Amino acid sequence: MSEEKSFSDLSRRDVIKGLAGLPIIGAVFWAGASKASSQKESRNTILETLNINASQPPDTGPMSGDPIRLGIIGFGIRGPQLCRSLGFATKTWLKNMEDSAAKNPNDTRLKSFLEQENLNVQVTAVCDLFDVRAQEAADSFSKDGVSVKIYKHHEELLASSDVDAVVIATADHWHAPIAIAALQAGKHVYLEKPMTHNIAETYALREAVQNSDRVFQVGHQHRQTQSFVTAKDVIDKNILGHVSLIQANTNRNSDNGAWQYHIHEKANPNTVDWQQFLGNAPQIPFNAEHFFRWRKWWAYGSGLSGDLMVHDYDRINCVLNMGIPRSVIASGGIYTHRDGRNVPDVMQINLEYPEFTTGPSQEPGKEKGMTLVYSASLGNQYSRTTALMGHDATMELGNRLTIYADRNSTRYKNMIKDEIIDPNVPLYQYDPSANAVDGITSATAKYFADKGLLYTYRDGKRVDSTHLHMREWLSGIRNGTKMSCGIKEGFEEAITAHMAGISYKLGRRIDWDPASGQVIPIEGYDLDEVLTKDIEKLV
Amino acid sequence: MNPMNLGKTQLNAIVLLRLVIGWHFLYEGTVKLFNANWTAKYYLLSSEGFAKPIFGWLASDSLIGIVDFLNIACLIVVGLALTLGIFEKIGAIIGIGLLVMYYFAHPAFPGLDQAGTEGSYFLVNKNLIEAVALYLLFLIPTGYYFGIKRLRDNTSIQTA
């Protein structure tokens, strides 16, 4: 066995071989420390230069006081989702979620629902044109001594003194007529997107809101998305330089994504109020497919422009506040789903803003004009990012923000030259989900979630955006707080969508006159008739 | 003390293996130590395989601070032990422990996403190979030949 050596026993060879590790340690430590500190220094320099304020929207007011009594008008697909955000789930949904959570512990949908803040509301009334659905709502939501009354027609529901406010989630062609009637009946209104089905209704609804003291909110729940507040700060601080192009997209490749919804087996002329559903649409005999898949026809729905582009348009409008485009030109066709629909399943829409500016970083004269290119397909779900492309940097906009400097940027020229900024590496990344683990279940859900349309984050915790958006509306009713998507935003969204739909159907450019606040007429055409006429294209 | 009667070249080869692994651990530990923003959180949260719940738990807010501290401390201790040639056996065991944890956080099992790794792996990946190499170093310590241990132990080195 070994014995302790005395110092004098050591040879030079012993010392060298014994201590050879020390210089290695010194070298490795030095290399590690200098790498880390140079990274830190670059990072700090970049962050100081950008000075982005990563903040979240202010909290809305308290939910105390008497419960707000709600009427639900339209209880198809979106209606039940809105009700869950308000704290009301159907018995069927609860059962399905319990079963699903038992099979898959990662499925937290039920848990999230149960943990949601109580918004202190009562559902007192429901109206749906399909009896089975109205009955399901009434059976599920009647509780604590409050029974939910079923109304055959929205007029009767609006006349009820048991209703303070209504949530409207009908087919698009009923949005404005019901919302206007509700405001006139003194009810607060939460209205799904698109706000209206044609141009004339958009003005009529704006007037109704302006003449009413009731609280009006359009259902663009992504206005609550935390990353968009930070994105707005990025724009305000001109970090991207002059944004000349924005690309936004929809990509779906499933039956559900193409609006091929389930047709309920109990639907027939006795259980569906078909005449009421048709409203101002062409009078045709009962057609269950039209009733359940109304998004596929211009007579009731709004096509890719009104149904899906509005999500992207409003996402960008809430960051840039660019308003209605000066002109719109759209093209596309029905290329995948040749199933009798007359709305396109592939669509490209160019929105032109020749006077818009996000601010200069170059010499004068290079800071004006922007195009928003929206491109949609229901035949492919390749994920294309939403990108705001500026002279100095590009920002990918979603639940996360990622900013890349442009190699030929004016603002970052010196930092790129000094190798502080690498254009291939994100200049800035903001991820409010850093503390949350996500459990998304379907491709369509993932598509919405990535865009910041399904949920957002508060203090690192995942929250349903729709819940926050409805909370904001309820706080407006209770506390007089401001709406993030009121009539101004809804008006801009609706007019833009209608210009796109008309452009598609006529195959020509549609112009907006900001001075008169009107879509410029085209001789020989009634634009609203063009838009809602139940055929694919006029020209 | 050379129980296997290894030749000088063989001993040098093992010392070389010990030094490069020590270097690797030390550098990983140092970079993390000096980078205030570093955390194992996202690596743990992205864990796949049967041990995912355990790593998810380690990444929780209450534990992640301790986990990060221990990870950096262990990386540096292993790095120092192997580079200096002292307490090599303990260093090797700690190193194996770390590598086995890294392995099971992102095991090279078929069907699991091998995000963040280059190359192609089936069951065996670089973490596993490094762990096995450490097992070899555990069995054949060389600090008495090349390392601080040489300064302490009065052992004649017999090479075959």
Q: Which two tokens stand for residue A52?
A: 């982005």
Contact flag A21-B148 (C-beta cutoff 8 Å): yes
Best of B154, B156, B159 to disrupt the A interface (most A CBs within 10 Å) is: B154
Q: What is the b/e burial string over B17-28, where b = at least 16 CB atoms within 10 angstroms of the residue's CB?
A: bbbebbbbbbbb
Confidence tier at B36 by pLDDT (50, 70, 90): confident
Burial level of A125, CB count in 10 A (0-12/13-18/19+)? buried
Spell out the long-range contacts of B139-143 with Cβ–Cβ below 8 A and sequence spacing 24 or more: B140/B4, B140/B6, B140/B14, B141/B88, B141/B89, B142/B11, B142/B14, B142/B15, B142/B18, B142/B85, B142/B88, B143/B84, B143/B85, B143/B86, B143/B88
Does residue A436 carry a pLDDT above 50?
A: no
Residues written for chain B: 160
Please state, in angstroms and as integers, the Cα–Cα distance from residue A204 to each residue in A303, A359, A510, following that order.
Answer: 22, 35, 21
Burial level of A271, CB count in 10 A (0-12/13-18/19+)? middle
Model pLDDT, residue A402? 87
Does residue B119 carry a pLDDT above 90?
A: no
Tell how far CA B87 is from the center of its chain: 14
Distance CA A254, CA A234 (A): 35
Q: In this structure, is the dihedral angle defined by the CA atoms of residues B127, B130, B134 and B136, taken in order, positive or negative?
A: positive
Task: Give the residue numbers spanning the domain of B130.
Answer: 8-152
Q: How far is B82 from chain A (nearest CA, A)?
A: 9
The residues in A 432-461 lying below 8 A from B, measured between CB atoms, are 434-435, 437
The answer to whether position B1 is within a domain reads no
Model pLDDT, residue B74? 96
Question: B8-34 and A21-50 helices cross at what angle (nearest 10)?
Answer: 30
Q: Which two tokens stand for residue A468?
A: 């926050």
Instruction: Give the alpha-carbon dihedral of A443, A445, A450, A454, to 10 degrees.
Output: 180
Please state, in angstroms and as integers, the Cα–Cα distance from residue A431 to each residue in A55, A464, A483, following that order.
Answer: 11, 16, 25
pLDDT in tens, A240-258: 999 999 999 999 999 999 9
Does residue A442 carry a pLDDT above 60?
A: no
Model pLDDT, residue A443? 52
Of A19, A24, A39, the CB nearest to B23: A24
> Taking a C-beta distance cutoff of 8 angstroms, is the pair A357, A238 a contact?
no
- For residues A126-137, average pLDDT: 97
Collapsing DSSP states into helix, strand and coil, what is residue A250? strand
Say yes or no: A16 contacts chain B, CB-CB below 8 A.
Answer: no
Q: Which two tokens stand for residue A258?
A: 């193409």
Contacts of B34 in chain A (CB under 8 A): 32-33, 35-37, 40
% residues pLDDT > 70 (chain A): 94
- In the β-sheet with A510-513, what is the strand arrangement from edge to edge? A428-430, A401-405, A393-397, A386-390, A243-251, A370-377, A346-353, A327-333, A510-513, A518-519
Model pLDDT, residue A439? 40
Contact flag A31-B23 (C-beta cutoff 8 Å): no
* Ordered domains of chain A (ranges, CATH): 68-221 (3.40.50.720)
Q: Cα B84–B85–B91 angle (5° rounding)?
A: 95
Q: Which residue of A has its CA nearest to B38?
A: A36
Confidence tier at B157 by pLDDT (50, 70, 90): low
Does residue A459 carry a pLDDT above 80?
A: no
Paired residues of A390 in beta bridges: A243
Cβ within 8 Å of residue A353, ≥6 positions away: A322, A325, A326, A369, A370, A371, A372
Distance CA A397, CA A280 (A): 38
Contacts of B80 in chain A (CB under 8 A): 25
Distance CA A480, CA A474 (A): 9
Q: Which of A197-206, A473-482, B27-36 has the lowest mean pLDDT?
A: B27-36
Please state, in angstroms and as integers, the Cα–Cα distance from residue A370 to each residue in A241, A327, A354, A359, A367, following that order.
Answer: 12, 11, 6, 12, 9
Average pLDDT, chain A: 91
Q: How far is B125 from chain A (nearest CA, A)?
A: 25
Does residue A446 carry a pLDDT above 80?
A: no
Q: How many helices (H) and strands (E) does chain B have?
A: 7, 0
Which residues of A261-384 form beta strands (DSSP E)? 327-333, 346-353, 370-377
Paired residues of A450 in beta bridges: none
Distance CA B138, CA B154 (A): 21
Best of B31, B47, B50, B52 to disrupt the A interface (most A CBs within 10 Å) is: B31
User: Which of A435, A472, A449, A525 lies closest to A188, judged by CA?
Assistant: A472
Q: Which residue of A has its CA nearest to B52?
A: A106
Paired residues of A373 in beta bridges: A247, A350
Please state, in angstroms and as integers, the Cα–Cα distance from residue A248 to each residue in A23, A162, A236, B74, following that order.
Answer: 55, 43, 21, 47
Confidence tier at A409 by pLDDT (50, 70, 90): very high
Please state, in angstroms and as integers, the Cα–Cα distance from residue A512 to each residue in A132, A353, A368, A516, A517, following that order.
Answer: 44, 11, 18, 9, 7
Percent helix, strand and coil across chain A, each rounded to 5? 40, 20, 45
Tell how far CA B1 is from the center of its chain: 25
Q: Cα A378–A379–A385 angle (5° rounding)?
A: 70
Which residues of A428-522 form beta strands (DSSP E)? 428-430, 455-458, 461-464, 510-513, 518-519
Model pLDDT, residue B2? 66
Does residue A18 carry a pLDDT above 80?
A: yes
Q: Which of A2-11, A43-52, A234-243 has the lowest mean pLDDT?
A: A2-11
With helix as H, strand as E and coil as C, how does A64-93 read?
CCCCEEEEEECCCCHHHHHHHHHCCCCHHH
Say yes or no: A10 contacts chain B, CB-CB below 8 A.
Answer: yes
The answer to whether position B142 is within a domain reads yes
The answer to whether position B76 is within a domain reads yes
The answer to whether position B39 is within a domain reads yes
> Taking a C-beta distance cutoff of 8 angstroms, is the pair A176, A532 a contact?
no
pLDDT in tens, A307-340: 999 999 999 999 999 999 999 999 999 999 999 9
The answer to whether position B158 is within a domain reads no
Confidence tier at A387 by pLDDT (50, 70, 90): very high
Contact flag B150-A21 (C-beta cutoff 8 Å): no
Of A3, A19, A28, the CB nearest to B27: A28
Name the amino acid, one letter, at B53.
P
User: For residues A250 and A35, which has the higher predicted lDDT (pLDDT)?
Assistant: A250
Q: Which of A37-51, A272-286, A356-370, A489-503 has the lowest mean pLDDT?
A: A37-51
> Taking a C-beta distance cutoff of 8 angstroms, is the pair A187, A197 a contact?
no
Percent helix, strand and coil across chain B, each rounded to 5? 60, 0, 35
% residues pLDDT > 90 (chain A): 71
The answer to whether position B159 is within a domain reads no
The structure's pTM equals 0.80
Q: Which of A28-42, A139-153, A178-192, A368-382 has the lowest mean pLDDT?
A: A28-42
Q: Which two tokens stand for residue A164?
A: 């303070």
Give how many domains chain B has, as a whole number.
1
Q: How many CA atoms lie within 13 A of A366 on its CB side?
A: 10
Model pLDDT, residue B116? 59
Most confident of A8-12, A49-53, A82-86: A82-86
Q: In this structure, is the dihedral angle defined by the CA atoms of residues A451, A457, A461 and A466, taken in order, positive or negative?
A: negative
Distance CA A251, CA A141 (A): 35
Collapsing DSSP states into helix, strand and coil, what is residue A339? coil
Best of B17, B46, B83, B149 to disrupt the A interface (most A CBs within 10 Å) is: B83
Say yes or no: A95 contacts chain B, CB-CB below 8 A.
Answer: no
Model pLDDT, residue A363? 85
The residues in A 40-59 lying below 8 A from B, measured between CB atoms, are 40, 43
Model pLDDT, residue B66? 92
Which residue do the tokens 């707000």 mark?
Answer: A68
Model pLDDT, residue A1? 45
Distance CA A263, CA A268 (A): 11
Model pLDDT, residue A461? 72
Q: Cα A237–A238–A241 angle (5° rounding)?
A: 165
Q: Which residue of A has its CA nearest to B151?
A: A18
User: What DSSP element (H or E) covers A256?
Assistant: none
Distance CA A48, CA A144 (A): 55
- For residues A485-492, average pLDDT: 98
- For residues A163-180, average pLDDT: 98
Q: How far is A95 from chain B (nearest CA, A)?
A: 26
